[in-house]
Structure 1
């Protein structure tokens, strides 16, 4: 990525963090992410075109939005990859009533991450079952947050990290949900928002 583009994105992330902090008021104390220099020590970049197809499968993953000053992470299950406007993209879905929703709304970057089987409990029960409104998920899970090269946040425990720049958002009306999901997710007035992000880079954990 060009240096000036990355600088603009990091500045935008910093501004969005201030906005979010002001909107939320008092939040649970969170561990400050390690600097991006630590990210480079633990992850190596791989070509996007060789790693896109295997991103979404039967495993849940984590989505993080915000910046080092104020971020939030949640467990995600739906997702897709593809090409939009000749760019590789990763698509995620966030419900409007999730605490992370406002972070995905305001942040220009979001980070997706996948984890080894040994962390399944943390991914499901803590990041999926607790809310950042009243829970320090990092402390509870033992996950170590770290800044990404583009100003986002992920965790050192990840085995794969995908950094995305938000291109567009699209509401998904509840009537478009499959019948078996509509009865469970379409009755409370909240809908999913589809976020489509350009895949800026893909990273994998360095081998010891």
Structure 2
């Protein structure tokens, strides 16, 4: 993979998409990473259980992570601020749904698509945050409200790069 993963996810963002051609949802994310676990190339992402996309992640064994050029930054903003529960945010963002050869959903405009198969899901327990991060993270990221993120560790099964 030709990219700096920290820059790619944390600064350029990604779309997490789950479901199939008949029904899917996507959301912008900037929490996650890639590495190697259980002898498999892997991704890890964190999704709040209140997000509409979370329901699709629970129902399907696989999903995609899609990465875009900077000219799609506004599309990623739309997908990160609108809910697919009551809006066709894909249409609003001007993106074109694309079914991968594996039957997963992504977008024609993506420059890179990573297909992921779930291996492990766990709720983050914020009681385990270490100081001095605990207070700061709870205040900055959650505004001291209880909110649950699920961690999804997934095997990378395909990477598609647009030429």
Question: Same fold by TM (over 0.5)?
Answer: yes
Aligned match of 1:42: none
For the pair 1:170 / 2:127, whether they are aligned, the reply is no
Q: Which has the larger radius of gyration?
A: 1
| Residue of 187, 200, 208 corresponding to 2:144 | 187
Tell me, yes or no, if the aligned pair for 1:159 and 1:205 is still in contact at 8 Å. yes
Give 1 or 2: higher strand fraction.
Answer: 2
For residues 200 and 52 of structure 1, do their structure 2 counterparts lie closer, same or farther at Cα, with a shift above 3 Å needed? farther
TM-score scaled by length of structure 2: 0.88
Aligned match of 2:4: 54
Partner secondary structure for residue 143 of structure 1 = coil
Q: How far off its partner does 1:149 sit?
A: 1.8
Q: Deviations over 1:123-145 (max 9, x none)?
A: 01x10000011110121111000
Q: How far off its partner does 1:106 sit?
A: 1.3
Q: Which stretches of structure 1, 4 residues or longer, exceed 4 Å deviation after superposition?
A: none
For residues 192 and 138 of structure 1, do their structure 2 counterparts lie closer, same or farther at Cα, with a shift above 3 Å needed? same
Q: Deviations over 1:133-174 (max 9, x none)?
A: 111012111100011122210000111110001111011123
Partner secondary structure for residue 83 of structure 2 = coil
Aligned match of 2:36: 83
For the pair 1:119 / 2:72, whether they are aligned, the reply is yes
Aligned match of 1:197: 154
| Residue of 54, 60, 81 corresponding to 1:107 | 60
TM-score scaled by length of structure 1: 0.70
Unpaired stretches in structure 1, ≥5 consecutive residues? 1-50
Partner secondary structure for residue 150 of structure 2 = strand
Q: How far off its partner does 1:52 sit?
A: 7.4
For residues 189 and 145 of structure 1, do their structure 2 counterparts lie closer, same or farther at Cα, with a shift above 3 Å needed? same
Corresponding pairs, count: 155
Q: How far off its partner does 1:190 sit?
A: 2.2
| Residue of 82, 85, 104 corresponding to 1:130 | 82
Q: How far off its partner does 1:205 sit?
A: 0.9
Unpaired stretches in structure 2, ≥5 consecutive residues? none
Tell me, yes or no, if the aligned pair for 2:12 and 2:70 is still in contact at 8 Å. no
Aligned-residue RMSD, C-alpha:
1.6
